[in-house]
Amino acid sequence: MIEILSTPSLVTVQDLGRSGFYRYGVCRSGAMDRLSLAIGNLLLGNDRNAAGLEIPILPLRLRFEADVNFAVTGADCSAELDGRPLPPFWAARARAGEVLTLAAPRAGCRAYLCLAGGVDVPEVLSSRSTQLRETFGGLDGRALVKGDRIKEVGNDVVLPEGGLGAVPPAAALADADAPATTVRVIPAAEHADYDEPSRAAFWAADWKVTVQSNRAGYRLKGPELQLRRPIELRSHGVVPGVIQVPAGGQPIIQLADAATMGGYPKIGVVIDADLWRIAQARPGDSLRFIETDVAGAALVHEETEAYLDGLEHDAGRQHRLSAAWRT
């Protein structure tokens, strides 16, 4: 069990999200950076979907009330366990009474804390994720506050004495060497309804992430995108990754807590395998869109799955060797 000693706002319990409930108006929710959450879980021998803590604003301090394995992934937040520095994307064993401190991130935006077996909160609609707007899931449907105590499910996995780490996905999964974060985008239904200068600008511009960005969506600032002629759309289903363009001409990327329906024109869709890159972009950072298609998205998905499968294999081997060494 852990006790929250100090925390900023919006720290929530999240797993990989809900599926199958869009027809009821229930969004996916779940971790914004699902890749980092999965990595933390695999380092601990958990199921990839085990619930952890999403920490979008730092610093944070918590105390372990019992011996437990934990992992910190996502943003590089200079993690320290009782003053001992921990590398990024690292799993270790905490002893009862030790304090974990996460500082302001040196890189990235969201950190994830995973515990052995996952965070022990009830499932609601087949997920432990917190939906703040609807106030259900997670811990009483709310963000964590000072004094909250969070229990782990627990498992019997043995970590190596010095801990266990993973190659960060930004290094393991090739990213273009550019000042902006690059994400791959498939042109959407209304892409052709924008005039040629707007379509060219969409792909060429560095889009700034604005402070009006949150778990529901990232609002971007850049060239004004203009339709060739006015169009009217009925409200229709949207999913995380859809890039809608309101009347002001500035795009919004729909993300984990986005509404399930909307009527704005859609110029593109960020592929699911690149959404973690957006989740780690901070206000003021730039995004650059690279055009791809369904086949290209499938290749990126396969690359990401191969990375996770390799990590699962290597971590499992280390767990088995560590258990054998201790016996």
Tell me the per-residue pLDDT of 245-297, one tens digit each, with 9 for 90 and over.
999 999 999 999 999 999 899 999 999 999 999 999 999 999 999 999 999 99
pLDDT of 9: 82
Q: Which residue has the higher pLDDT, 140 or 234?
A: 140
Tokens 């937040």 belong to 77
**Cβ atoms 195, 227 nearer than 8 A:** yes
Tell me the per-residue pLDDT of 150-178, one tens digit each, with 9 for 90 and over.
999 999 999 999 999 999 999 998 764 55
The pTM of this model reads: 0.96
Side-chain half-sphere of 206: how many Cα atoms within 13 Å? 8
pLDDT of 58: 83
**Domain ranges, ordered by start, for the chain:** 2-169, 181-292
Side-chain half-sphere of 42: how many Cα atoms within 13 Å? 24
- Collapse the DSSP code of 179 into the 3-class scheme (helix H, G, I; strand E, B; otherwise coil) and give the result: coil
At the fourth CATH level, the homologous superfamily of domain 181-292 is Cyclophilin-like (2.40.100.10)
